[in-house]
Chains A and B, each alone.
Chain A
Amino acid sequence: MRDKKPKSDVQQGTLALMVLKTLEVLGPQHGYGIARRIEQISGDLLAVNQGTLYPVLLKLEQEGSIESEWGASENNRRARFYRLTRGGRAQLQAETREWNQTAAIIERFFAARAEDFS
């Protein structure tokens, strides 16, 4: 359990960010819709294991970043629709900023050559 955890944490953290962003862009969505959207955009990252999405959704809801209610899907099936809460929106902004910062740092770090340090 312990040695597996960091890996799944990273994955889940990333996945959570993707969920939040998807909901921000598309508005209220059911789980399948979110999965499809992430699959479309991210290629095969989630194609392997769509199921991991749902624990993340439940956890985000527990933390208050998203909320859900019953609705009807396109082909009239009953489905649970998730929606971003105000807290979730703030969290998304904060995490986006953080992500950009981290990404920028890493990018600059990778771009650096030996002569830059001399």
Chain B
Amino acid sequence: MRIRERWLARIGATSTRMRYDERLREEIEGHLALQTAENLRAGMPAAEARRQAVLKFGAVEAIREQYQAEVASAWLQTLLQDLRYAVRMLAKSPGFATVACLTLALGVGAGTAIFSVVNAVLLRPLPYVNPGQLVSLSEGRPKDGTSGDGLSWDAYTALREHSRSFRAVAGLAIHALTLTGQGEPADMSTVSVTPDFFSLFRVNPLLGRTLMPEDGQDGAAPVAVLSEGLWRSRFGADPEIAGRAVTLDRRSYTIAGVMPANFRTPFVGQTEQVWIPLAQDPLFSGWRTRPQTTHWMAAFARLRNGVSIAAARAEAGNVGAGLAQQIPAENGWAIGIDPLQQVIVGDVKTPLLLLFGAVGLVLLIACANIANLLLTRATSRSREIAVRVALGASPRRIARQLLTESALLGWLGGAAGALLAWGSVKACASRLPAGLPEFHAVRVDGAVLGFALVLSVGASLLFGLAPVLGAARSDPQAHLREGARAGETRGSRHLRSALAVAEVALAVVLLAGAGLLLRSFAHLLAVNPGFESASLVKAEVSLPRFQYSGPEQWRAFTDQLMARLEGDRGLHDAALAVPLPILDNAVSLPFVIAGNAPLPPGKTLTADFVSASPQYFGVMDIPLLRGRVFSPGDTATTPPVALISETLARRYFPHESPLGRHLVFGFPPNNNVSREIVGVVADIHDVALAQKPGPMLYVPFAQQPFWGAEIVVKSRLGAAEVGGAIRAATHRLDPGVPVTNIETLPQAIEASVAEPRFRTVLLGLFGAIALLLAAVGLYGVVSFSVARRTREIGLRMALGATRVGIRRLVLGESARLVLAGLAGGIQASLILTHFLSTLLFGVKAFDPATYGCVAVLLTAVALVAAYIPARRAMRVDPMVALRCE
């Protein structure tokens, strides 16, 4: 005991030691100086005067040590005593302790779990060297209000050569190449990069080397760098991998090295990928020399030391102006520079912060709830406190005791909350929506645990304050005079009512937010995409481009494949298209209406482009409104034809029939082909359910073939069966062609709303927790008030009040609380849901129906919570009530 005390004393003393040690030293010095001066006046020689003063004072060191030990051990002993007492008090009322701990665990757990996502996505810096220097380069047309498009090759070259703000500039393009020779052929995510890519991110390879500038020269030997994931899954983690070959699109690349798993290309989620020089890419290498400007390249740069983004932007403005003078196609385009992190987290920031705010509200409700419980307890303990005050305990001492109790609760609840967060993060990490930029794994680490600690300590201070304030106002004499009756001050009663009102108000805010998201989500699911997705299965077939290098081969292969599928029982309703609506990224192309006056410079018309087989419209159930759909007679050798969507027809041919008119457009390099409009089809949601259909152009696949296509089959068979049949048919033609991404269309559309679903489910969950906590809080307040007023109720009944009247009395009291909470909550929601507006679809931030439902729901739950104590009040026996006390 003694050793432990001394050891504890040493720790405890450090906090106060500095301050008081300094004071003590000062005082001792001052005292000795005064005493010496007096001794001098008395006639002593200087040395003797000082010596006598010191002698008279006593052993300075001993005094200091003794004082320190006393201060520290007193402080610690008080703490230990308070803790012991707090543990005893909690153990004495296990029900209260459990409810309080669970409430806090819910609040802290939800907060910590969301924080682990916020931490991984928003807070932790990107895992690159000096990530603050990395910027994303883009182009946009300020006049059209667009931004964030890729760079054209010319803009990239100009920035690389003329900009002095950047230490390095690198561009990349991403697509899938066919990996063969290592098991089942696969679509491999391939990042084609300019030579500076790896030096820009300053990463070292795990094995071998990265790409050198020489590898980027035209005519250099083809090399590739593998990701660690790919190296492990398909190459057996071979340590001698450098120098071996990998076959991509039937072409052999020498493996230069392996990148560690923690290096990811921005915007690429796959852990299995391969990097090759852009010059060696079967598709993009050709795009560098194309005369016309397409904005296809994602580009990054590293700022030089000390160069601000503003300076880089100013310089890029000049570079862009110079470029526009040289190349007319760049007219109207502007170069954008944004911090890389900002660009990466851009889309998820708002919903994440929203969820974070929501759990903050849940935690506040939890705190209010515990504060209420503690207040109730403090009221029934007021006599105990009064006795302590009467026995000489200072208000500070009492406050310290009460705060120790709430801190203990905070620690217990916080620990349970951290555990809850750990469990839920572990369970949910794999179910996070795919759109989340996961540079860092979402997990409970030191920072997250620290956050949980701060939350629980902060929360315990917050709810611990309520009983302290209550106790500070209490008058010990009044309590002692009142005898055994548990009294309470008016102040603490008001405080408790205010807390209940606040809980209801916070719950209203959360429920309103959840309700709005829920209605948005329902609207989203109710959107008719314009095509019939039920019983559709799709699979992606990709042709290796070095072997199937031209349109004739693509066409020949797909013709054979479609013929085989049509011959197959159960698969004859098959079509192919590139790209599929919602599932694939839309391809937007410029077009010109033949015969119209030329548009002013810098102005272009664009529409989403689809290349489809004749059966596509029948299989997808896209209605034909005018003219005809494609026929097998539309071939490469017949005049080019096109279909347009209703919106395009309405917008650009408002007063005439578009049939027979010609549009000039096409996928590069066929962009100058004039095509006759042969029909108009209905609009479909091709980008996303949430986005209104825009103008669309369709061309026959036979006239615009690609090196791969999405096969869509309408069939009563399951996805696995249809996928297997498509794979079998494909592999009978060529076993080296990968068939991937097999899924049903309903599934795929479902997956496209995973992110709104995620936030809706989470906010709904938080809303439910809030509702539950608010109900518990209200129940607590009302039932305590009934218990306190038992005597009064008995008296009223003795004087003739009916049971119904008593019930009305109790329910009326809780109705007042709920109404006040509703009023406050709706006002707060009107302000706060404004932040939601970008996430809403089909509902306004002020949606009367949602608010009405929330109000009704809360009132109903509150009435149930209040009804239980009200019934107890009705059953009060006046005789018993009056006799007791």
Contact = CB atoms under 8 A, between A and B. Distances in A.
Given A58-B20, A79-B30, A50 B66 contact: no
A7 interface: no
A51 B30 contact: no
A30 B59 CA distance: 21
B30 A2 contact: no
B37 A55 contact: no
B69 interface: yes
Interface in B555-570: none
Interface stretch (B21-29, B335-343, B365-373, B811-819): B21-29
Given A58-B20, A58-B67, A64-B394, A51 B2 contact: no
Interface string B389-404: 0000010100000000
A77 B28 contact: no
Interface residues of A, number: 27
B534 interface: no
A57 to B, nearest CB: 7
Contacts of A2: 2
A75 B58 contact: no
B329 interface: no
Contacts of B27: 31, 54, 57, 80
A65 B56 CA distance: 27
Nearest to A30: B30
Contacts of B56: 47, 50
A1 B69 contact: yes
B522 to A, nearest CB: 62
B60 interface: yes
A67 to B, nearest CB: 13
Nearest to A57: B27
A118 interface: no
Contacts of A63: 394
Contact of B58 (A31, A52, A62): A52
B63 interface: yes
Contact of B66 (A31, A47, A55): A55
Contacts of A52: 58, 63
Interface string B52-67: 0000111110010011
A58 B30 contact: no
Interface in A37-94: 47-52, 54-55, 57-59, 62-64, 73, 75, 77-80
B97 interface: no
Contacts of B594: none
A52 B28 CA distance: 10
Contacts of A79: 30, 34
Given A49-B58, A55-B70, A35 B26 contact: no
B20 A50 contact: no
Contacts of A55: 24, 63, 66-67, 70
A54 B2 contact: no
Nearest to B23: A58
B33 A77 contact: yes
Nearest to B397: A63
A61 B59 CA distance: 23
A101 B70 CA distance: 29
A59 B74 CA distance: 11
A51 B20 contact: no
B426 interface: no
A80 B30 contact: yes
B35 interface: yes
A43 B846 CA distance: 84
Contacts of B67: 54-55, 58-59
B37 to A, nearest CB: 7
Contacts of B69: 1
Given A32-B35, A55-B24, A1 B2 contact: yes
B367 to A, nearest CB: 30
Contacts of A51: 28, 31, 57-60, 63
A32 B31 contact: yes
A25 to B, nearest CB: 20
A35 B35 CA distance: 10
A32 B71 CA distance: 23
Contact of A58 (B24, B31, B33): B24
A106 to B, nearest CB: 22
Contacts of B37: 75
B59 A77 contact: no
Given A1-B2, A75-B37, A50 B30 contact: no
Interface in B1-54: 2, 6, 20, 23-24, 26-28, 30-31, 33-35, 37
Contacts of A47: 56
Nearest to A35: B31
A2 B70 CA distance: 11
B394 A54 contact: no
Nearest to B69: A1
Given A1-B69, A32-B34, A50-B56, A80 B394 contact: no
Nearest to A54: B27
Contact of B30 (A1, A49, A64, A77): A77
Contacts of A30: 30
Contacts of A62: 71
A32 B30 contact: yes
Nearest to A55: B67
Contacts of A32: 30-31, 34-35
Contacts of A59: 67, 70-71
Contacts of A80: 26-27, 30
A77 B60 contact: no
Nearest to B6: A1
Nearest to B74: A59
A97 to B, nearest CB: 13
Contacts of B31: 31-32, 35, 50-51, 54
Contact of A50 (B6, B33, B57, B71): B57
A29 B294 CA distance: 87
Q: Which of A47, A50, A73 has the most CB of B within 10 A?
A: A50
Contacts of B35: 32, 50
A48 B55 CA distance: 8
Nearest to A49: B58
B125 to A, nearest CB: 45
A49 B63 CA distance: 10
Contacts of B6: 1
B58 A54 contact: no
A81 to B, nearest CB: 11
Given A64-B394, A79-B30, A54 B20 contact: no
A75 B638 CA distance: 116
A28 to B, nearest CB: 15
Contacts of B34: 32, 73, 77, 79
B33 A54 contact: no
Given A49-B58, A64-B394, A54 B66 contact: no
A85 B28 CA distance: 23
Contacts of B59: 51
Contacts of B23: 58
Nearest to B1: A2
A48 B66 CA distance: 17
A35 B56 CA distance: 11
Q: Which of A30, A51, A57 has the most CB of B within 10 A?
A: A51
A64 B27 CA distance: 19
Contacts of A78: 30
11 contacts: A49-B57, A50-B35, A50-B57, A51-B28, A51-B31, A54-B31, A54-B67, A55-B70, A58-B67, A62-B71, A80-B26
Interface of B: 2, 6, 20, 23-24, 26-28, 30-31, 33-35, 37, 56-60, 63, 66-67, 69-71, 394, 396
Interface of A: 1-2, 8, 30-32, 35, 47-52, 54-55, 57-59, 62-64, 73, 75, 77-80
Given A55-B63, A77-B30, A79-B30, 8 more contacts: A30-B30, A32-B31, A48-B58, A51-B63, A64-B394, A73-B34, A78-B30, A79-B34
| 5 closest cross-chain pairs (CB), A and B | A55-B67, A49-B58, A51-B58, A32-B34, A51-B63
